[in-house]
Amino acid sequence: MAGWKDEVEEIIFPGKICVPYSWTVGSTLSKWYVQLRDDGEIWANRCPSCGKVYVPPKIKCIDCYKDMNDWIKLPGTGTVETYTVVHYSEPGLHPKKPPFVYGVIKMDGADTGLVHLIDGVDPDKVKVGMRVQAVMAKERDGHITDIKHFKPIA
């Protein structure tokens, strides 16, 4: 069975197809996105067994498998745990012109990291351990981009 592709003519049809579908993020993330949209607040949920705090929230604790119904409001600040500077352009995919920074932000009060943009600072000045604060978009629609970016704080 190893060389089966040797006798197959590969045909490539360039183009795009449209596959219309709808999906839901489920009740847990829906609640999270509604809080972002309506109140401009970042919430997390806490495991009733081990106490681990997740942002974005989870429906079940990934360590204990317990239902996560204990919600807590986070202050919107955190620490950069790691980051990458994007130097190439990908139209329609990237949120802004390069260079820009994606970082993993460990939110104050949470045990997990949130991947998001870091802005308001030269990409060369971003450092692990840097303190940041969420900047909310003026117009919010219930999407992760309701958090416009994270900016450095003193």
- Each residue's pLDDT tens digit, 99-110: 999 999 999 999
- Each residue's pLDDT tens digit, 74-119: 999 999 999 999 999 888 888 889 999 999 999 999 999 999 999 9
For the record, the structure tokens of 142 come out as: 């219930």
Q: Residue 21 and residue 18: Cα distance in Å, rounded?
A: 9
Residue 1 confidence class, pLDDT cut points 50, 70, 90: low
Domain boundaries along the sequence of the chain: 21-152
55-78 per-residue burial string, b: 16 or more CB within 10 A, e: under 16: bbbbeebeeeeeebeeeeebebbb
Task: Scan for tokens 């919010």, then name that residue.
Answer: 140
